[in-house]
Amino acid sequence: MSDRQKELHFIQADLAPERYEDQYISRFGSRFSLQFHPKGRGVLPVGLGPINTNLAAFFAAEIDGELWSLPLQYPAGFDRTTRSIDEFSIHRSMTTAVLKSEADHPGIDLEWEFTSPFYPQDKLLSSAPFFYATARLRNRSDSVQTGRVLGGLENLETRCLPDQIGVVQAMSVAAAFRGPETKPGRLLHYQLGMAALDSGAHMELVETSCAYWQTAQYDYALAPGETLEFSFVLACCLEEKDIVSYHGEPCSLFYQRELATVEAVIAYAADNYAEALRKSRAFDAIVQNAPFPQHMKDFIYWNFHIYLGGTWLLRRPSGQSLYTNYEGGTGYFSTIDVEYNLAPFYASFWPELLTDQLSIWAETYQRGNRRRPFSSGPRHRIMSHDVGGGFVIDEQVYIPGPMPVEENCNYILLHYLYYRYTGDSSLFSRYRVLCCELADYVLETDVSGTGLPDIGTNNTLDCFDKLLRDMDDQVFLGVKAGTALRVLGAMLEDIDGDSEAAQPYAQGSEAIIDSLEAEAWQQDHYVITISRSKPEGWDTASPLTTNGMAYLFFTGQPLLLDAERLRSDMLLTQQDYTLWPSMGVWRDLTAFYLGLRPSTEYKFRPDFRNDMYPRSFNAVAMLQAWAGIGVDVPNKRLIVCSDADGRFPLPMLADWHAGVVPEIVVKNGQVVSDGSDLLRDFCIESASY
């Protein structure tokens, strides 16, 4: 690797898979997460304020007379008879994190499984703020082992539900949130609760050196080789209503109307225990059964809970739900360049989450920016980078300014992915004028005559040097602009039959393609920029070339650039990625369609520790990319570009209410349907780029 490449932050992917710095399990839409810290720090709450907010919870198992506790609040051992499990390994699925104790407790294998129930398009189940926590003990000794399993909170207050499920505690928790940049923070108040879910539990006060704990306890007697499980629910409930302002309209968390108290949350968790686990296991199976390597699955699991930790599912005064998402710890709502990465999940599993945001961006654009009127809105035809922050959705917060070409293109591309995956044209028809305004701006950013943007080129690589960040005639943005212009023209023709309106966008895309093929190709790779200024490093190979074309691969469409050249370009950079791991993921996703098998090993940016930054959840698109699957619902067409054998799920075509996820089967290069009625009208074909 050259010194210049190192300066450009292209880093060799030499890290072992399955090693990630931050470990979470999170709830969808309700701001409730737990972070696991093996080897010293224990288990910390995240969604209830800053990461160092205490969560006075106690999970323990008595083994050979000693209480072995998960340190949800305290990293050190409690006293001589209460010991902390500081050593544990973590094993995941989409909805679970299993903490396997590696402590020295003789005769018993102990693990705690935390479950965050999730099922696509089930709003209440997925967003109700609770976790199931199950202790699993296995006797590996030759004799009967006896003891107890405990779960509880500090002994401050105890209540009981009408059906006699014992709430170990319902205690108050206050958490301070800071707002980003110009947005105010606030203090929020929660009720925290815990209950035993299995029969046979009894209440008992436990004293340790740091607190008194009101616990629900199970007694056990384990025969040699026997395994037993004991389950609890850990829940919270936000006391404040109307916490997010959406253009002046007060919005509460979605769950608060049905589940207004922590007792109600616990009762819901208890009443729906079997159904919640059934649905969650069905959702888990989609990735678990995918025919690709375990380290890729683990990467998807890990990213899913980072993503979930930033989600907001709100309810407007009308009762209508509203979804938005934080850009990690920045506290920005619905950052478009991040949501471009998350859109494969939305379009495949829950399209409403994308339609909500497309509407939020459109309304925010139409209102313009009060604090920075020069930055975005219809006057400038520039889409906002974000739509607010903290607890207020109203206008862009991000101080460095907009990313005009990239965000305009992202908005168009998001409409396109939604249309191709759902067949619903109504959303584009609603926002057609806006999409054309944004595209007109992109066309006019070319002042050098190459077709590629020369102004408004500040992009998502905002922490890199100028050559990557905001250079004129950059190939990365040129490809994205060419793709956005092409798909806009295609939607105008397909949906509206308006070839005249489509023509300037199709011509703009062709001009970009012609320049890229004539000027950006250098023997075996596409360069970083074709700027006439020829800055140092302009002709370096980059792993970013195919980023903007990803949605074309996903939908089985012709590519902007020559496939053989793209293969050569990708082979030169297939072991490289930038400090944004998601860029390496995009490269790898598109590589599968070109018949390559990249490393698929990534490391998170070190300065984003504890930030729940969700960019690399674009990895979920590996579900279709591994087999090179293109999905075009309006034309009832599926293509498969790979000869990789296996059964490949098509969640974008699922009937979630009926619990049916169709699959296609690839065997010895032949592609067939699994026989599902959901695929009856589709033409399934093998193809190649």
Whether residue 26 is contained in a domain is answered as no
Tokens, residue 309: 């930790």
Average pLDDT, the chain: 89
Fill in the amino acid letter for 126.
S
Give CA separation, 291 vs 284, 295, 392, 592, 625, in Å. 14, 12, 43, 14, 11
Q: Do the beta carbons of residue 663 and residue 680 sit within 8 Å? A: no
656 and 121 Cβ atoms separated by less than 8 Å = yes
DSSP labels for 607-637?
A: GGTTS---GGGGGGGHHHHTTTEEEETTTTE
pLDDT at 515 over 60: yes
Residue, of 598 and 412, whose pLDDT is higher = 412
Tell me, letter by letter, the H, E, C secondary structure of 364-399: HHHHCCCCCCCCCECCCCECCCCCEECCEECCCCCC
Are residue 551 and residue 657 in the same domain, yes or no?
Answer: no
Q: How many residues does the chain have?
A: 689
Q: Are 209 and 298 in the same domain?
A: no
Residues 602 and 631 in one domain: no
When pLDDT is averaged across residues 398-411 and rounded to a whole number, the result is: 93
Whether 424 maps to a domain, the answer reads yes
The count of domains in the chain is 3
Q: Are residues 342 and 214 both part of a single domain? A: no
User: Of the given ranges (12-16, 380-384, 433-437), which has the lowest mean pLDDT?
Assistant: 12-16
- Give yes or no for residue 12 having a pLDDT over 50: no
Residues 6+ apart with CB under 8 A from 601: 13, 15, 16, 17, 295
- 544 and 614 housed in the same domain: yes
Look at residue 54 in the predicted model and tell me its pLDDT: 61
Residues 622 and 634 in one domain: no
- The span from the CA of 507 to the CA of 479, in Å, is 14
pLDDT: is 87 or 310 the higher one? 310
Q: What is the pLDDT of residue 427?
A: 98
d(CA 380, CA 438): 9
**What distance in Å separates the CA atoms of residue 500 and residue 492, rounded to the nearest whole number?**
9
Residue 258 forms part of a structural domain: no
Q: Which of 279-288, 574-583, 587-596 has the lowest mean pLDDT?
A: 574-583
Which of 597, 626, 655 is the last residue in one of the domains?
Answer: 626
- Distance (Å, whole) CA 31 – CA 28: 7
Same-domain status, 583 and 666: no
Least confident of 105-119, 231-245, 557-571, 610-624: 610-624
575 CB-near residues (< 8 Å, 6+ apart): 12, 13, 598, 599
Q: Who has greater pLDDT, 40 or 313?
A: 313
Cα(616)–Cα(184) distance, integer angstroms: 29
Residues 6+ apart with CB under 8 A from 230: 134, 135, 149, 196, 198, 201, 218, 220
Q: Cα(216)–Cα(207) distance, rounded to whole angstroms?
A: 14
Q: State pLDDT tens for residues 351-374.
A: 999 999 999 999 999 999 988 888
Q: What percent of the chain has pLDDT over 90?
A: 67
Q: Are residues 217 and 335 in the same domain?
A: no
63 plus 203 within the same structural domain: yes
Higher pLDDT pick, 526 / 34: 526
The pairs formed by 536-540 with CB atoms below 8 angstroms and a separation of 24 or more are 536/4, 536/467, 537/4, 537/7, 537/8, 537/467, 538/467, 540/2, 540/4, 540/5, 540/8, 540/10
Domain assignment of residue 117, yes or no = yes
4: pLDDT strictly greater than 50:
no
Orientation of helix 352-367 relative to helix 432-444, angle to 10°: 60
Model-level pTM? 0.94
Residue 96 lies in a domain: yes
Q: What phi and psi, each to the nearest 5 degrees, are found at residue 203?
A: -85, 140
Mean pLDDT, rounded, for 78-90: 74
Closest CA to 411 of 381, 390, 388: 381
DSSP reduced 3-state for 262: helix
Residue 332 confidence (pLDDT) above 50:
yes
Assign 46 a pLDDT band (cuts: 50, 70, 90): low
Q: What is the mean pLDDT of residues 643-672?
A: 92
Task: Name the residue among 617, 140, 51 with its Cα closest to residue 338.
Answer: 617
Output the pLDDT for position 47.
67
507 lies in a domain?
Answer: yes
Residue 638's domain comprises 627-689
Q: Where are the beta strands (DSSP E) in 508-636?
A: 521-522, 525-526, 576-577, 629-632
What residue type is 152 in one-letter code?
G
Q: Is the pLDDT of residue 465 over 80?
A: no
| CATH code (residue 318) | 1.50.10.10
pLDDT of residue 157: 76
- Reported as a single tens digit per residue, the pLDDT across 18-40 is 445 678 899 999 999 988 876 55
Q: Is it the case that residue 293 has pLDDT exceeding 70?
A: yes
Give the CATH number of the domain where residue 62 resides. 2.70.98
Q: Interior CA angle at 567 toward 286 and 445, to 5°?
A: 95
Last residue within a domain, chosen from 230, 253, 283: 283
| Tokens coding 397 | 């917060």
The predicted pLDDT at position 49 comes to 66
356 and 228 both lie in a single domain: no
Q: How high is the pLDDT of residue 164? A: 65
pLDDT of residue 11: 44
Confidence of residue 8 (pLDDT cuts 50, 70, 90): very low
* Residue 138 CB contacts under 8 Å (≥ 6 apart), including other chains: 108, 109, 222, 225, 226, 227
Token pair for 678: 């959901």
Picking from 301, 278, 276, the residue whose alpha carbon sits closest to that of residue 290 is: 301
Can you tell me the distance from the alpha carbon of 167 to that of 157, in angstroms, rounded to the nearest whole number?
A: 10
Cα torsion 663, 651, 633, 514 to 10°: value is -100
- Please give the pLDDT value at position 660: 96
**Rg for the chain, CA atoms, rounded:** 26
* Under 8 Å between Cβ of 553 and 593: yes
pLDDT at 603 over 80: no
Lookup: tokens for 510: 């062709």
3-state secondary structure of 490: helix
Final residue before a domain boundary, out of 228, 257, 283:
283
Residue 563 lies in a domain: yes
440, 405 in Cβ contact below 8 A?
no
Strands 108-115 and 130-139, sheet pairing = antiparallel
| Average pLDDT value for residue range 568-589 | 82
Tell whether 313 and 176 lie within a shared domain: no
Q: What are phi and psi of 676, to 5 degrees?
A: -65, 140
- Average of per-residue pLDDT across 541-564: 95
pLDDT at 196 over 80: yes
Question: Mapping DSSP to helix (H, G, I), strand (E, B) and coil, where does residue 239 land?
Answer: coil
Angle at 566 between CA 564 and CA 572, to 5 degrees: 110
Predicted confidence at residue 15, as pLDDT, reads 39
CA distances 153 to 54, 170, 213, 233, 500, Å, are: 12, 8, 6, 12, 67
Mean pLDDT along residues 597-601: 77
3-state secondary structure of 202: strand
Q: Residue 634 pairs with which residues in a beta bridge?
A: none
* pLDDT at 73 exceeding the cut of 80: no
Query: Do 528 and 631 fall into the same domain?
Result: no
What DSSP letter does each residue of 389-455 carry, written as one string?
A: ETTEESS---TT---HHHHHHHHHHHHHHHHHHH---HHHHHTHHHHHHHHHHHHHT--SSSSS--S
- Mean pLDDT of all residues in 205-232: 91
User: Does a structural domain hold residue 245?
Assistant: no
CA–CA distances in Å: residue 593 to residues 29, 288, 308, 653, 670: 33, 22, 28, 20, 16
| pLDDT above 80 for 448 | yes
What is the three-class DSSP state of 476? Answer: helix
Rounded-to-integer distance, Cα 663 and Cα 656, Å: 14
Higher pLDDT, 175 or 482: 482
pLDDT band at 106 (very low <50, low <70, confident <90, very high): confident
Question: At 523, is the secondary structure helix, strand, or coil?
Answer: coil
